[in-house]
Structure 1
Amino acid sequence: MAIITLTTDFGQKDHFVGAIKGTIYRELAEVKIVDISHTIRPFNIQECAYILKNSYKAFPEGTIHIVGVDAEPTVENQHIAVLVDGHYFISANNGVIGLIAAEIQPEKVVEINIPNPIHGSFPVLDVFVQVACHIARGGTLDVVGKPFTELKDLKEFAPRITENGNSIVGSVIYIDNYGNVITNIQRSLFEAYRNGRSFTLNARNRKITEIHHKYSDLINFELDKNQRKGPGDLLALFNSSDYIELAIYKSDLNTVGGASTLLGLDYRDTIIINFN
């Protein structure tokens, strides 16, 4: 049974997601549709890429991923279908796939060119669904498009190495449901430049000198409870996707707040690591 996933910034209020699912089921009654997320911030390419990059690998190879973020076609935002890491992605060439494929060479990339396309305001339904159903039936990418080599690469989202390798300047790429702040600094980059040195992570006016591997590492259970760090304290850790994350232990955005609100950090804000 084919699997088609949906990742969009459509939200839950409007008819868009329902129309997409209904059209797919009308074409392929036995297909399995999985919602990854429909609450991507509108047109937020980095957030979409982060969520999709860290979820697609959980699906079996051959899964088809429809990406409904910034999907309106222009001469600089072509519609593409990509086979990478054994998975199919149908998207606009807006940088999402470039970020996902930054470390893995795509096996095939085509610019979508289907017969009699509908040039309307809902290209995810009019174009992407057609392509997804074609692939789900066993069709090839060669039928829906022509080879394409200009996959957009958004270098602005990459961390910068400064001060002759003594500093990493990163930025906030995602804020999760708990208000945890995810940076674009991966463990591999951090360790490559750390080279055994001590460091200071600067986030607004807060300085952190230790990065944990799980949230509860913040607590020294050998101390009495009234002497320990715990709920409400700030920590940094390598999260499950191996990015440096800033968190408030057992935070709640709806009550006490999270790292994003308590530190005053938002999307694209700067995080700096200095090696000593």
Structure 2
Amino acid sequence: MEQLQILDAKASVLTLLSDFGDRDVYVGVMKGVIAQINPKLTLVDLTHQIPPQNIAAARFCLMNAYAYFPVGTVHLAVVDPGVGSRRRAIAVEFAQGFLVGPDNGIFSGVLSQNPAIAAIELTNFNYWRTPQPSNTFHGRDIFAPVGANLASGVPIQELGQEIDSATLVQLNIGECKETSIGVMGCIQYIDHFGNLVSNIPGSYVQGKTWCVQVRGLTIPGCATYSDVQVGEAIALVGSHGWVEIAINSGNAHSRLQINLQDSLEVISKVNAT
């Protein structure tokens, strides 16, 4: 088909994020489809170890990765429990580049920091692998070829019908709320090490003495993991910029039995100068 012809195009960056894992061929097949369109593209695997169907985890990972890529990068994200249903397939342009994937809230973290410039429903099947895509693998049949074409210079407006960005699905992970002694938040992500990442920005505790209260525990706020003894709980600001709870050389998730969406409170006071 025409959209699978190799394009004489720039060697742009295309990132891939999914819950496909590395046991099956799904990721490799998507890369094959992309290479059929433009083998010059630079492909970067953000991760394919998102827990199955965990849109919130995908949202967090993409939100904390996009800023490290060149302007114009296309980010292809496929965590899609609604594949084959009436959920929309979309491409979004924002200041740093483009997003391609399902309209299920996976992009709401990025777009909370960078509003959409344009949003397109992917209705032009000339840029799909086939006009009759599988009901279970839109990553192969729609998102991979669209992402490859977009990264190769096809204008986003050619990919389908423009839609109002205000109608894009938002994933509600809870909001921070100030209290009389600090700020309330929740756990928005649990990483590979079992660190419990909250939705409270690290800027809130800068220049303050602080601690976290969660499930009857009071956990001191420190600068590095080594500020407490091995096996002890600690709260700190992670490299992603959010307040997190960790265990020095341990797994906070399994040890503390704190889960996604569980609430916590940061209590702080301004340091004397």
Q: TM-score, normalised by structure 2?
A: 0.84
Q: Unmatched 5+ residue regions in structure 2?
A: 1-10
Partner secondary structure for residue 107 of structure 2: helix
Task: Report which stretch shifted further, 89-98 or 101-110.
Answer: 101-110
1:136 aligns with 2:151: yes
* In 2: Cα distance, 1:114 partner to 1:147 partner: 11
* In 2: Cα distance, 1:261 partner to 1:49 partner: 23
Equivalence map 1:137-152=2 (5 Å): 137-149=152-164, 150-152=167-169
Shift of 1:128: 0.7
* In 2: Cα distance, 1:34 partner to 1:197 partner: 38
Aligned length: 251
Quick check: 1:170–1:271 contact (8 Å CA) kept in 2?
Answer: yes
Q: Deviations 1:53-100 (Å, cap 9, x if unpaired)?
A: 11121111111111110161533x211101123221101111111221
1:184 paired residue number: 199
2:101 paired residue number: 91
Quick check: 1:82–1:108 contact (8 Å CA) kept in 2?
Answer: yes
Q: Deviations 1:1-24 (Å, cap 9, x if unpaired)?
A: 122111000111112111111111
1:273 aligns with 2:269: no
**Cα 1:238–1:139 shift into 2, 3 Å:** same
Q: TM-score, normalised by structure 1?
A: 0.83
1:161 paired residue number: 177
* In 1: Cα distance, 2:252 partner to 2:108 partner: 29
Which amino acid is 1:176 matched to?
A: D
Shift of 1:205: 3.0
Partner secondary structure for residue 96 of structure 1: coil
Which amino acid is 1:262 matched to?
A: R
Which amino acid is 1:151 matched to?
A: L
Q: Unmatched 5+ residue regions in structure 1?
A: 219-228, 252-257
Shift of 1:139: 0.7
Which amino acid is 1:43 matched to?
A: Q
Percent same amino acid at aligned positions?
A: 27
